[in-house]
Every structure is written in structure tokens, then in C-alpha cells.
A and B are shown apart, each in its own frame.
Chain A
Amino acid sequence: MRVPFSWLQDFVKIDISIEEIARRLTMAGLEVEEVQYVGLPLPSGKTEGRAGGHSGPETKTTGLAWEPDKIVVGSILEVMSHPNADRLVLCRLDDGEQEHTLVTGAPNLFPFKDKGALSHPLKVAYAREGARIFDGHSTGQELTTLKRAEIRGVESYSMACSEKELGISDDHEGVILLDEDAPTGTPLVDYMGDAVFDIAVKPNTARVASILGVARELAALTGAKLKEPSYNVTSKGSPIETLVEIEIQEPELNPRFVLGYIEGIATGPSPYWMQRRLTLAGMRPINCIVDATNYVMLEIGEPLHAFDYDALASRTEGAKPKIITRLPESGESLTTLDGEQRQLDDFTVLVCDTAGPLSIAGVIGGAETEVGEQTKRVLLEGAAWDFINIRRTLSAQRIDSEASYRFSRGVHPAMADRAVRRALELMRSLTGGTVAQGLIDAYPLPPKDPVVEITPEDVQRWLGIDLKPKEMAEILRRLQFEVETKGNTVHARTPDHRLDIGEGNVGKADLMEEIARQYGYDRIPETLITDELPPLYGNPDLVLEERVRDLLVSLGLQEVITYRLTSIQREARHLPPASPRDDKPYVHLANPITSDRVVMRHSLLASVLEIVERNAHVRDRIALFEIGPVFLGSEEGALPDEVLKLVIALTGPRALPTWQDTDEGRMDFFDLKGILVELLKDLHLENIRFEPHEHPSFHPGKCARVMIADKHVGYLGEIHPLVRENYDLPETPLMAADMNLQTILAGVPERYDLAQVPTFPPVLEDLAIVVEEELRAQEVEDQIRSAGGSMLVDVRLFDLYRGDQIGAGKKSLAYALTYQAPDRTLTDEEVAKVRGRIIKHLEKKLKSKLRS
């Protein structure tokens, strides 16, 4: 919300600098995001005396200072044709010291051309030679210095400024025409120099969505006196009861409805001071009637709606109009002033007359009764609406407006009649109209302003500070609470401009916040928790997950973190084209923001393959892993299973390129398997088996599933060429493992026993056998181990040979065997006996032959 400093000063006189105001508001929760100086001098760099010694600017500062000696109120005495240009005029101008001749093309001066000396001189913002202003023709705000020049044969050295040139708005259509009473020769900054605070309004501070609201806060924070606006109206018309009546059908949704009336108005433009304030506050001036309603809304926070009374009267053919607020009848619709024909929901509250709907309550007016240039009589509505219902309406109708912005955050019903009075008086003074006597005020459901009781013990318990009841009362009084102190207890009645204070416990917390804000967060001491320590709980899942991360990193893998949102098509790329999908339902977004992020992922493998793809053009060698959940919809419950997965991807050369000649080949299945074995060993898992398997994502001959004690925990293998072709990847083997980390970690033993460090020397021996090609290495090793018994402590394959020496369809496997006993040095005889047993066993079980 944009708050002009001059407007604030109508309600609170404060003697601290603009920057200090911005700082105090920010600290108290009204975050000033920017201060825009509109004429007033910008702060010169640093300010001093800050708590904590911070010497910075605190608030973003922009804008333009108007030099007092260069930019003054000027008076155009006559507008004349330019001798050489139709699109330019010459002006005779008095700057309070002497007369000047200006050259300008401002279209709003053309109506005065060649009318002779003006009986009412035009007051303008006059910039003398050398004045620093914004360039009117640049797109942004660019400073320029006014220089002497010749324009079509006439010398020009000064000008009358547009709003853009002075940093008031983006408007460069014409020059500013000030109000007639502007004193010629006065520095413009003294006449209307200003600054605008841009304040972020939080959902709980709807009460400050007005100039008066900010003034209240500022008065409370600085101890300055608050001067409320006057709500008196001079009304000399007929009693309003003769003009209109009101019926509220849904008091819960419409607790108050106030009507006022003015006639004999003219809908000309507002005076410049009002236009300028509206502009600075971010609203566009329209005509004095609409401007007055907007002005009052900005000023005290209550949105108003103006009806053209004659348009209403014509709907009832002259009968006294009756305003009815109600829910729609079925099939009812309304054309709103934005030209849209709107379908109404059964909760949309309407303001109607006996002929039908006039406006959507608190949200948008109807086209038919809108105030226009011809309007002579105005019926003015100030009402209170249930803000939750307004919010539902806004989202159903997809509308946003200044009025609905306020109503949807809660406006106290007490503001309704004040706003109507204030606006009627403004309209009267601007247009000379006549106000009907009295107001129609239907107030079926006045809110109960909560009374909250708090004690110094509460303050100590929540805030950690000692305050006396008197001090608490003083703080709350500054915020206009009605306070009564009984003994130690402070009873505070909520003022009738705010709806954010609750009852009971909640009210207490609300008051704690008010006390803390006013007391100052920077004055709250810094202490550490003295409360008892909570019991500690183990976090084994997290500890193991982090251990896996560290281990994989130590094995040279880079961790990645990917989007957990994807699309079904995008994710399907991790399977060959036209493969069936898994049968679990997806979690679908109801409101996706982009078409490729619409479901929660099922496959972590697909996520990681995308990262391989992204990096393939910058790196030959890629070794990645991710640990993260997939989201599998479950039939029975509404929430999905969130299953923790681990994916590893490897591709490219085994070693990084170097200036030395060391080709270590490309990574293959066994590099990946090595990593997995290392990981599972590190977790002290036992009974790990890699079984040949087929999975559509993987090469049918280079894929295994991993079993841990008969539990299937994942797949690894070389990515199927058909899958690789789904991605923009080079034709080099790509390895991946897709593991269910949750299942793996669930099987990790809480403790494990160490093997003894041997004290007696081992006996080492090689054993080479020839077997059928189809026989799997795992089977051979299993058989060796089973025959070797406890003395055989290690079996390591060190050579695999196929070739002429052993014949086709055969392979030779050579193992390094380690024999050892914990309690003695083994003798040659003992070892020979075991070796003999192994060879015999293999011959019998595997039809193997010893290779000599």
C-alpha cells in the first residue's frame, strides 16, 4: 500500500525524519519496502544513532528532490500561438520575480490559446533554467538538466512540468495544472513536496490498509497525538427516509448497510490536490464523485459504492427505491461495470433493488447504475460484509479490486457510517451539492469487540520481560484499546476499527504481539531456554541415509537433487517406447503451473537420467547419485506412499583425461556392481545376491536384480539402447542402479561382530578350473566356499579366460584362495586336504576340470 507522507500528516504530527518513520514502521511489522521522494529532499546518505550500530540505509530510497530555487509555482498569464508551429504554443508566465516566455506542446494548454490575458491565470509547476528534473520522453526515470535551447525559432530555457517530469506519476500527456490558490513564486517543494511509503500489508494487519490505519500505528509508536478525520456532514436536504429504504436478508453475511444521499452535483474533475494524493497512492483520478469514494476508502479503509440515483429511480418507475441485500435466485446473472455478464454462485451476496441485482456486494458494481458524467443525484453505500464469503466470491468470480482487497481482509462494520459521512461531506464541498438529512443505517449484527484479560505473569511467560500492569495498560491505550486495570489484571476492550483480536487464549496472544511490537523487539532481552531438556530420540533412518550419502561421495559419485514433480510422458522415457507402465496411481496436481510438472514422480531413475542427459554435452565421464522419494498412489488411503529410493548412474571413461597416456577403459556393469557391493558391505548387510534379471529399462543380458536375504531391493544394469535413445545421449554404455533404499536400510543390523584380526599366517594358493560357458561365476564361488569349509577364509576370482587352449564353449576361472585358522599355522597337509576336497566337489557338482 502506498501512503503519501502529506496525507499521514493530516492525522498525526510527528517530528522525526521520513527515514526514521520508515524504520519504525518496518520494525513494528509494517514493512516499508520503498520510500519514494516526490519533491522532498532525499536523505543525505547515512543516518546515525541506530541500535546495534547499523549504519546502512534501512529502506530502499528512490525519487526526486525539487530544488527550491529552481522549481516554483508559476502563473501562466496568457497562452499564444507559436509563430512557426501549430503543435506548439507560447506562454507568458510569471514566476513571482519576473515574466518569462515558455514554449510548450502541452495539449491541456491549447484550449486557452489566443484567448488574451487569462482572467484566472493557470498555476503550473515552473522549472527554471538549470533545474534537475526527469526526462519526460525517456521510458524510465532519467535525470536531466534543463538547458537553454531554440525551439522552432523561439528561445526556450525553462518549462512547465508534467507529473512525469517531477516524479509524481508516469503521465506526460500535459502539464500539471495546480489549484488556483497555489501561491505564485513559492518553491514547489514547500507547496506540495511529498514522499510515499510503500508498505507491505500482512494478512493480519488489514486495519492498516488505510492512511488513518498507518497514522494510528505511527501515533502509537511515537507517542504523538492522533487526530481523527471529521465525520460531520452539513446536510440541508430532505430526510433520507423519503428517498430510499433498505432490507437485509442475510445479516450473517451483511451485518451492516448504510446509505447516504447527495443531489445537485456535477461530475467534473477533482481539484489537483486530491488527484495528486490519489495518484501518489496508486489510483487513477476519474471524476470528483468516484474520486471522493476512492479517497475515503484510501483514507479510512472502508470501500464505498456510489449509485446513480436517477438510474435506480427509473428501474422502479419513480417509486421509492428499496435496496435489498440477498443471495441470488437461481439463474440470476448481472452485467458488471467491466462489461462482463456474470453467473452467480449460491453464496454470492448481491445488492439489489426490487427490479433485480445492482452489484456484487463488496466486489464490483453493476453497469446500469454506475455513476457517469450525467449523474446528478448519488446514493452512497457503505456496508460491512463477511470477509470469508467475499474471499469465496473473489476466487469464484476471478476479480481483484481495491475495494475487494480490503473487504476480503476484514473491515470493521463501525467504519461504514463514518466513511459515508466523510465522503458525503467531501462531495458536498467539491461540487456544492445538497446532502439529504440523516443516513439509512441497518445494523442487524454489530460485532462484539472482545475484552481480553492479561497479567504481568502472562507477559513474563510469553515474552520474557517484566512489565507492570500500568505499563501494559499504557501500551494498549496508545493503540486505542479501552483499558481498565483491576489489581494485577489488565482488561482491554478492542477498539472498533480492528477485527484481528480474538477471545481467551488467542486474544491473549494477540495482545502479546501488540505489546511486543510497541515495546520494541530490539528491547526484548536475549536469553537461552532454561526449560527442561526433552527426552532424546534416535534417528536411525537419517543416520543411515547420511552414511549412504557419504559413502557414495567417497566412491566418487556426485549427488544431485531433482524435481519431484514431472509428467507421465516425461517420466515414461525411462522405459522403451510403448512399454506398459506400473499400475500404481499418480498424485496429480489440480493446478499445475507448467505442463511438464503435473504429477509427483514414480521413478527416481527417470529423474536422474534427465540429469545425465543435461550433462552429457559438457562431460564425457558422469557418475551421479540421488537419494529421494517417489510417490506411489495407494488405493485405500488418500495419501500416497512416499518410498525412499537410491539411483546411481555411471557412464564414460573410468579415469579422467590427463596428459599422461593411461587409458583405463570405459566404465561398465562391473564398476557399478563394485560400488553397490561396497555400499552394501559398508552397511553390514549379509546374504547379498545379484541375480540375472530382465527389466525393460535395461539391456536384457546386462541386468541383475539385487537380493538381500531373499528381499528384492532393486535393479542394476546397462541402460537399454531403446531407453538411451529416448534421451539425447551419446551411443556409449550407460549404467544405472535403481534401488529401494527404504527396504535396504530397514534390513541394516543394529550391531555387527568383527572378525578376529588373524595372528597366524595364512596359506595362499591359486586354483584354476575349466567349466561350461553357461555356468555362472556366483555358482562356482558358492561351491568352492561350501566345499572349503571354515578354513577357507577368502575366495577371489583373479582371471577369466576363454580361448583355444581350453576349447570352445568353455571358460577358465582362476581363483586366489586364502586358508587360515584362528588358533594355529596351517600345515601343508591340512591345506592339501581341503584343496583336494574342493577339487573333487567341483568335479562332481559342476563337471569342472582342473586347469594345469
Chain B
Amino acid sequence: MLDRLDRIEKDAARALIAAKDEAALQGWKTKFLGRSSELGEIFDGLRELPKEERRAVGKRVNEVKTSLESAHQARLQELHHDSMMQSLREERLDVTLPGRPIPRGRIHPANQTLRQILAIWADMGFQVYRSRDVETDEYNFGLLNMPPHHPARDMWDTFFTNEPGIVLRTHTSPGQIHVMRERAPEPVRVVLPGMCYRYEQITARAEIQFNQVEGLAVGRAITLADLKGTLINFARRFFGQGVRTRFRADHFPFTEPSAEMDIECFVCSGQGCSICKHTGWLEILGCGMVHPTVLANGGYDPEKYSGFAFGMGPERITMLKHRIEDIRHFWANDLRFLEQF
């Protein structure tokens, strides 16, 4: 009898391997584990066996049954897995087909740069202050230390309006006077972004309207050294920690001393190229200590207060960063340009 059980076990194992699908497996189960299977017969006949033989055979029957059941279970899982793999194989995609395009929007590149600049200044405690595009001659020039016919006015090609004494602002500096008059004698730390205008032929290098960001700090103990340190910090944040800067003397009527901050040309690493006009340096911003006349016009006593101011052009910086050759792209708004940012 035990031999018979051994044979059943062997036969079942062999037949299980041959069961290639779930139906065959069901047939196998009926054949080897079903009521009318040989194993079932032996089980049913156990009672008729002599007592001493019954124990040994009974134990063996159970063993074989358990072993067949677990083999069945394993085989069933194996078949499930195989058929799942089969259907997954059939669902295979060509993953190199193009993705589905999603319509998406973007901020205009000039505003993207503007935001980056303003975010850095915000971290340094400079809040945004905005003022109007159409200004009085007095705010645009007079209060900024440029009385009528002052030679420094030549530095700005101005759009005048038919209304006497009204101009399109040539810089955001009128905002300096507005904010000082609003806040004096509190200390001031602001950035002044906005659209400015210049009477100039539109060419690849020059536009009649452009954004500017100015900064202004006024307080009781602000020095040229503070200006330098603050601007170098800005340059490191904006252009990278390793950026090299230089300050050279320059002239603006509303600051004194005045300076230009250059950064080493990142296109040629300072070796000289057409972008940096073969100097190795890029002009990034103009700056200086607020002129005493301007401080006084803003309501601050120049004997007690001092301050610094600076100004830069987001479009120009964007152009340098991305090697844009033609400034006219900004207001032309060709989607093929805008969608690259």
C-alpha cells in the first residue's frame, strides 16, 4: 500500500508539470485529489485495513495529500503569474512615441528675470515700491539734481508729451523721491521696478521701452562700503558664488560718488569676446551714494542721513544670460521666443 502511495505521489508530480493551464490544473486536481481519486479510495479504505497497518498508511496518505495540495497551490500561482505576464507582454507600448502635448503657460521672460531679482532683494530686506510711468519733469529730473538744461540730461533721451512739464519716465528714479517723501524720516530700503522709456531708434540693441529695477537704501549709517558689500552679495546670489566683480567710477547726477559694477564675462570667462566688447567685463548695474541734494529733496537731512542707490535692466541681464542678440524679441512676443523660457 505504501508503495502504491509512493507511486501516486510520483505520478501526480509528473502530471502536474504537464498541466499547462488552469483547466488542466482543475482536471489534475479532480484526478489526484478528488473524491473518486485513487488517493480518496485509499483514504476511504483505511478503516478496512488492519490496525497496525492502518496507522502507517494513514500517516502516509495525509502526507501525500498535503504534499499534492501544496504542489497544486504552487502550480496554480505559477500559472496565474505566467498568464499575467503573457497579457502584460501583449500590452507593451512603443515608449518612444511622442508624449501628449499639454497646453501650458509661462511668465514673460522679462518678468521671470524681474521676479528673480526682486526675490533676492526681498531676502535682503528691500521691499518693492512702484510708481507711475508718466511723470512730471520735476520728479524725473529736477528733484534728482538735474535742473532744466543741466548737461546730465543728455544722458537720457527723453520722450516729452504735449503737456508741458510731463514726460515718460526715463528711469524709475522718480520713485526714489516719491518713497522718501512718503516715509521720511524713517529709514528706507526699497526696490523700484517699472517700465521706462527712451527716445531712441528701435534697433537690435536699443528699445524705446524697457524695464528697470532700482534700489534705494537710506539711513543714518549707510556707506559706500555697504553699497559694495550689498551689491556683491546680490551678484553672488544672481550669477553664482564664484562671480568676479569690479567697481569703477562712473557718473550719475543723482548719486555721488557713483560707480558701475561689472561682472566678469561669463561667455568668455574674462578672455574677451564680442558680448563683453572685448573687455572681459559685462556692465551689470550703475550705483552710488545718494546725492545730498536728492536726499534733501526727499526730506532727509544730508548731514544726518546717507544712502545708496543702484539700477539695473532685467531685459539686458536676460539677454546676457541667454545670449539673446536682439532686444526687440521682448516686446515682439513671438511665441517661438517666449516658449523657450
Contacts and interface: CB of A to CB of B under 8 A. Distances in A.
Interface of A: 26-29, 31, 33, 51-61, 202-206, 387-388, 391-392, 408-410, 460-465, 505-506, 508-510, 512-513, 516-517, 521-522, 524-537, 539, 541-542, 546, 549, 552-565, 587-594, 597, 600, 611, 614-615, 618-619, 621-625, 629, 631, 638-640, 642, 655-660
Nearest to B166: A638
A558 B199 contact: no
A43 B306 CA distance: 43
Given A522-B247, A533-B187, A631-B133, A512 B222 contact: no
B302 interface: yes
Interface stretch (B21-29, B31-39, B59-67, B106-114): B106-114
Contacts of B128: 539, 542
22 contacts: A29-B249, A54-B244, A56-B270, A60-B272, A60-B277, A204-B253, A391-B149, A461-B223, A462-B223, A464-B225, A506-B291, A516-B249, A517-B249, A521-B248, A526-B228, A528-B230, A556-B103, A564-B133, A589-B168, A590-B162, A593-B208, A615-B335
A679 B132 CA distance: 26
A561 B108 contact: yes
A531 B219 contact: yes
Given A26-B248, A203-B151, A556-B103, A464 B226 contact: yes
B113 to A, nearest CB: 12
A330 B127 CA distance: 57
A538 to B, nearest CB: 9
Contacts of B244: 52-54
A842 B224 CA distance: 75
A614 B281 CA distance: 36
A521 B247 contact: yes
Interface string B129-165: 0101111100000000000011110110001111101
A18 to B, nearest CB: 15
| Residue with the highest number of chain B CB atoms closer than 10 Å, among A56, A57, A564 | A56
Contacts of B259: 521
B134 A640 contact: yes
Contacts, number: 305
Interface stretch (B2-10, B94-102, B318-326): B94-102
A623 B105 CA distance: 8
Nearest to A408: B151
A29 B248 contact: yes
B292 A508 contact: yes
B96 to A, nearest CB: 12
A659 B189 CA distance: 54
B294 to A, nearest CB: 10
Contact of B110 (A387, A533, A561, A618): A561
B232 interface: yes
A563 B253 contact: no
Given A204-B152, A529-B219, A509 B292 contact: yes
Nearest to B225: A464
A657 B103 CA distance: 10
A463 B106 CA distance: 43
Contact of B229 (A527, A535, A600, A621): A527
| Residue with the highest number of chain A CB atoms closer than 10 Å, among B105, B115, B270, B291 | B105
Contacts of B246: 27, 51-52, 54, 521-522
A534 B189 contact: yes
A387 B247 contact: no
Given A60-B279, A590-B161, A619-B335, A203 B154 contact: yes
B189 A409 contact: no
A848 to B, nearest CB: 38
A464 B219 CA distance: 14
Shortest 6 CB-CB contacts between residues of A and residues of B: A56-B280, A464-B225, A29-B249, A464-B223, A531-B219, A526-B229
A505 B292 CA distance: 6
B54 interface: no
Contacts of A624: 333
Contacts of A512: 224, 256-257, 289
B335 A565 contact: no
Contact of A557 (B105, B188, B271): B105
B226 A56 contact: no
Contacts of B130: 541-542
Contacts of B110: 561
Given A204-B152, A533-B189, A559-B111, 20 more contacts: A28-B248, A31-B248, A55-B280, A56-B268, A203-B155, A388-B150, A460-B223, A510-B256, A512-B224, A521-B249, A522-B247, A549-B111, A558-B106, A565-B197, A590-B159, A618-B335, A622-B335, A639-B136, A642-B133, A658-B100
B306 A554 contact: no
B232 A526 contact: yes
B166 A587 contact: yes
Given A57-B272, A462-B289, A615-B333, A559 B107 contact: yes
Nearest to B155: A203
Contacts of A556: 102-105
Contacts of A553: 104-107
A203 B293 CA distance: 17
Contacts of A465: 225
Nearest to B158: A591
B280 A618 contact: no
B186 interface: yes
Interface in B293-317: 293, 296, 302-303, 306
A656 B103 CA distance: 7
Contacts of A594: 202
Contacts of B249: 27-29, 513, 516-517, 521
B166 A639 contact: yes
B53 interface: no
Interface in B241-269: 244-251, 253, 256-259, 264-265, 268
A56 B265 contact: yes
B165 A565 contact: no
A391 B150 CA distance: 8
A558 B331 contact: no
B162 A57 contact: no
Contacts of B332: 614
B333 A597 contact: no
A593 B199 contact: yes
A463 B223 contact: yes
Interface in B171-187: 183, 186-187
A534 B257 contact: no
Given A505-B303, A512-B289, A521-B248, A528 B108 contact: no
A81 B281 CA distance: 56
A549 B118 CA distance: 16
Contact of A462 (B224, B278, B334): B224
Contact of B186 (A56, A535, A591, A631): A535
B190 to A, nearest CB: 8
Contact of A58 (B228, B279, B331): B279
Contacts of A206: 151
B103 A554 contact: no
B16 interface: no
A527 B226 contact: yes
A686 B178 CA distance: 35
Nearest to A633: B163
A56 B281 contact: yes
Given A537-B127, A659-B98, A528 B233 contact: yes
A593 B200 contact: yes
Contacts of A391: 149, 151
Nearest to B162: A588
Contact of A559 (B108, B168, B183): B108
A527 B199 contact: no
Given A465-B225, A590-B162, A60 B292 contact: no
Nearest to A615: B335
Nearest to A51: B246
Nearest to B258: A513
B68 interface: no
A587 B163 contact: yes
Nearest to A563: B331
